[in-house]
Amino acid sequence: MILVRRFENADWLAVWPLLQATFDAGDTYAYSPQSTEAEIHEAWVELPSATYVAVDLQGHLLGTYFIKPNQPGLGAHVCNCGYVVSPAAQGRGVASAMCTHSQAEAVSLGFLAMQFNLVVSTNERAVRLWQHLGFAVVGTLAQAFRHQRLGLVDALVMFKTLVDVD
């Protein structure tokens, strides 16, 4: 059972170590492995429009995601999300549950589309999952991600229209 709800301040105690370990691996997100807790709190909690956690019935953290406008003003109707799943909860559909939740939240927040700017091409499981959930690869950025094990690898721009406007 996966519950997705709004982030509360008390969640940070569990969210920060998960984010720290994720960014430290340097294989999925651009945030520097040397990022401070304050920098990541700003990026994950303060700047976004909203932040969420996925928890099990006992309240254990399974994952977290944020949603924010991808551009200012005249591009602010397209949102951007970032998702992180706890290593202990891999393979249980947490990313899928969070992405599905985020699409509904995005629409209720007034966004018309969702864009991922830098999906690491070697993160094949994520690429397949986003495609399964309706996102298209709309662009490839040559060597745009400095993978901590593999060196410079391509990154993908992925996009999904959520609300059709004629």
Positions that interact with its own copies (CB under 8 A): 23, 26, 29-35, 43, 71-78, 112-113, 115, 117-118, 138-148, 152, 155, 157, 159, 161, 165
**From the CB of 66, what's the least distance to its own copies, in Å?**
14
Sign of CA dihedral 133, 79, 142, 126: negative
Which two three-digit tokens encode residue 133? Answer: 């959930």
- CB-based burial, 92-124: b 16+ in 10 Å, e otherwise: bebbbbbbebbbebbeeeebebbbbbbbbbbbe
C-alpha 28/C-alpha 156 separation (Å) is: 12
Nearer to its own copies, 61 or 115 (CB): 115
**From the CB of 116, what's the least distance to its own copies, in Å?**
11
**From the CB of 18, what's the least distance to its own copies, in Å?**
18
Nearer to its own copies, 17 or 33 (CB): 33
Nearer to its own copies, 3 or 47 (CB): 47
CB atoms < 10 A from the CB of 68, how many? 18
C-alpha 155/C-alpha 132 separation (Å) is: 18
**From the CB of 105, what's the least distance to its own copies, in Å?**
19
Nearer to its own copies, 40 or 89 (CB): 40
